[in-house]
């Protein structure tokens, strides 16, 4: 006996759902012209013998492109592959000592068991600055525009902000995303785009060791690279920083992150959890409408410290400045 008409219909629906989800999770070839996006690790010399590392290779609109990081400044850049001379070898003893490679190895040193809040959590050297990181996990709510507006209104140079963005948040909040991008293009905000994974897996009630990126079947490489492609398609530069969803990782996840040359970023001042920032703190708030208590605390902090910001006794700093050089 063959399958019944209703079971055929059931499988047709499943097939359509699978196709739709594959298409949704693989926007890579669909627009932006980015193909063959892959992680590499190729140290090379730039101008004035600056040590750089090519981290990604890909094709954009038919030409070979490279995402490269400056090992002293942690600044990434997209360049044409033909502009880099890979023939001049950088010895391991040279690139391994650079601030970028040292930080990458230090913050991805695998440890056994479940790990919360791994990675850099505060500045490595004394500074009057704090580092604002804003998580944009997938959300059904509107974003906290007031968080961005209050940051733009601060009397600090460049208004630096690190936005840990997920692909699904971008997909579902196009207008809000475009608004932030426009604020950055107009130099009202200076955004470091931190990788918060593409789909940001999360299942309520599931223990942390089997949740977030540690969920069964999750491919961390695809999650991280997929988000980078989405940023590049939108004309934005991925930074070499990664924030684990839920701040949850384990040895395997850290090893994958090292292989992708991504430095994990935790926080020592998750405002909604009652931790207030001190000098050098990495501040964590959610800007996706899911944690308004944190936003209220941040805006109060801005208000309380108004004079300190004005007089330069306190400032916001870009995330790359949290690393000692």
245 near Zn ion, judged by CB under 5 A:
yes
By C-beta, is 103 or 213 nearer to Zn ion?
213
Residue 38 CB, nearest approach to Zn ion (Å): 26
Question: How many residues comprise the chain?
Answer: 325
Residue 163 CB, nearest approach to Zn ion (Å): 12
By C-beta, is 118 or 135 nearer to Zn ion?
135
Q: How far apart are CA 95 and CA 72, in angstroms?
A: 10
Beta strand pairing call for 269-270 and 263-264:
unpaired
Stretch that binds Zn ion, among 175-183, 222-230, 244-252, 289-297 (CB under 5 A): 244-252
Q: How far apart are CA 248 and CA 27, in angstroms?
A: 26
Instruction: Please measure the distance between the N-terminal and C-terminal CA atoms of the chain and give it in whole angstroms.
Output: 72
Among 244, 241, 194, smallest CA distance to 215 is for: 244
The string of DSSP letters for 98-147 reads SHHHHHHHHHT---SS-EES-SB-B-SS--SEEEEEEEE---SSPP-HHH
Stretch that binds Zn ion, among 64-72, 89-97, 147-155, 243-251 (CB under 5 A): 243-251
Residue 196 CB, nearest approach to Zn ion (Å): 6
Residue 200 CB, nearest approach to Zn ion (Å): 5
Residue 89 CB, nearest approach to Zn ion (Å): 40
Distances from the Cα of 12 to the Cαs of 8, 16, 22, in angstroms?
6, 6, 15
**Total chain residues near Zn ion (CB under 5 A):** 3
By C-beta, is 137 or 314 nearer to Zn ion?
137
Q: How far apart are CA 151 and CA 225, in angstroms?
A: 29
Measured over the CA atoms of residue 169, residue 175, residue 179 and residue 182, the dihedral's sign is positive
Residue 283 CB, nearest approach to Zn ion (Å): 15
By C-beta, is 58 or 242 nearer to Zn ion?
242
By C-beta, is 71 or 166 nearer to Zn ion?
166
Stretch that binds Zn ion, among 218-226, 241-249, 258-266, 290-298 (CB under 5 A): 241-249
Residues 109-148 that bind Zn ion (CB under 5 A): 135, 137
Residue 207 CB, nearest approach to Zn ion (Å): 17
Beta strand pairing call for 282-286 and 76-80:
unpaired
Residue nearest to Zn ion (CB): 137
For residues 70 and 77, the answer to whether their CB atoms sit within 8 Å is yes
Numbers of helices and strands, H then E, in the chain: 10, 14
By C-beta, is 57 or 208 nearer to Zn ion?
208
Interacting residues with Zn ion (CB under 5 A): 135, 137, 245
């Amino acid at each position: 006996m063959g399958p019944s008409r209703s079971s055929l219909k059931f499988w047709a629906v499943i097939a359509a759902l699978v196709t739709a989800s594959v298409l949704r999770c693989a926007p890579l070839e669909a627009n932006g012209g980015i193909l063959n996006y892959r992680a590499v690790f190729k140290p090379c010399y730039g101008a004035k013998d600056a040590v750089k590392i090519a981290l990604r290779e890909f094709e954009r609109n038919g030409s070979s492109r490279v995402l490269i990081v400056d090992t002293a400044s942690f600044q990434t850049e997209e360049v044409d592959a033909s502009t880099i001379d890979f023939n001049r070898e950088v010895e391991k003893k040279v690139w391994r000592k650079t601030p970028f490679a040292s930080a990458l190895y230090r913050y991805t040193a695998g440890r056994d068991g479940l790990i919360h809040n791994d990675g850099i959590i505060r500045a490595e050297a004394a500074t009057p600055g704090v580092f604002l990181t804003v998580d944009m996990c997938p959300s059904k709510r509107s974003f906290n525009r007031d968080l961005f507006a209050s940051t733009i209104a601060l009397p600090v140079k460049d208004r630096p902000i690190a936005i840990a963005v997920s692909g699904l948040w971008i997909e579902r909040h196009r207008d809000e995303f475009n608004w932030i991008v426009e604020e950055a293009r107009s130099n009202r905000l200076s955004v470091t785009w931190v990788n918060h994974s593409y789909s940001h897996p999360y299942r309520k009630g599931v223990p942390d060791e089997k949740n977030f990126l540690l969920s069964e079947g999750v491919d961390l490489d695809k999650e991280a690279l997929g988000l980078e492609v989405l940023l590049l398609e939108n004309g934005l530069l991925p930074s070499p920083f990664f924030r684990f969803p839920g701040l949850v990782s384990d040895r395997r996840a850290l090893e994958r992150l090292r292989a992708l040359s991504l430095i994990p970023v935790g926080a020592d001042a998750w405002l909604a959890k009652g931790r207030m920032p001190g000098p050098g703190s990495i501040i964590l708030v959610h800007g996706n409408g899911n944690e308004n208590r944190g936003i209220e605390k941040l805006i109060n902090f801005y208000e309380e410290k108004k004079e300190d910001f004005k007089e330069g006794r306190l400032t916001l700093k870009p995330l790359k400045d949290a690393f000692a050089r």
